[in-house]
């Protein structure tokens, strides 16, 4: 299965700390994406990293991709209480995408 698997399942940190979430997958992919979900409803796209890229930044987000290890990490720097949400990685082969079970991040004020 190409489905991503995130770890940890849950992460609790203090505001201002950095949060790191990891994703592993099993098959070759075109790209890997990270999404955020608040309140159990629709997901919001955060960042996409292509299979030929190793690192990408967007604001306080930093994503790395290691295709040899079939793994990715999402780093959120200087976390805020508003970052509390579930974060999902999704692996894509063209438009065929599969999501992992997610990491539940809690940022305490």
Task: Name the pairing type of β-strands 31-37 and 19-24.
Answer: unpaired
Please state, in angstroms and rounded to a whole number, the distance separating the CA atoms of residues 9 and 99: 14
- Do the beta carbons of residue 43 and residue 34 sit within 8 Å? no
Beta bridge partner(s), residue 90: 33, 99
Binds other proteins (CB under 8 A): choice among 21, 43, 49, 74:
43
Tell me whether residue 83 or residue 88 sits nearer to other proteins (CB atom).
88
Tell me whether residue 3 or residue 77 sits nearer to other proteins (CB atom).
3
Binding segment (CB under 8 A) for other proteins, from list 18-26, 51-59, 74-82, 89-97: 89-97
Examine residue 105 and tell whether it contacts other proteins (CB under 8 A).
no
Examine residue 59 and tell whether it contacts other proteins (CB under 8 A).
no
Please state, in angstroms and rounded to a whole number, the distance separating the CA atoms of residues 31 and 53: 9
Contacts with other proteins by CB under 8 A lie at 30-31, 33, 35, 40-45, 48, 88, 90, 92, 94-102
């Amino acid at each position: 299965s190409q489905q991503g698997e995130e770890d940890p399942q849950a992460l609790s940190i203090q505001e201002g700390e950095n949060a790191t979430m990891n994703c592993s997958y099993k098959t070759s992919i075109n790209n890997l994406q990270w999404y955020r979900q608040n309140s159990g409803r629709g997901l919001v796209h955060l960042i996409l990293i292509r299979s030929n890229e190793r690192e990408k930044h967007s604001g306080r987000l930093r994503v790395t991709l290691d295709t040899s290890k079939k793994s990715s990490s999402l780093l959120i720097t200087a976390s805020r209480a508003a970052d509390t949400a579930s974060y999902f990685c999704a692996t894509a082969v063209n438009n065929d995408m599969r999501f992992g079970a997610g990491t539940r991040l809690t940022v305490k004020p």
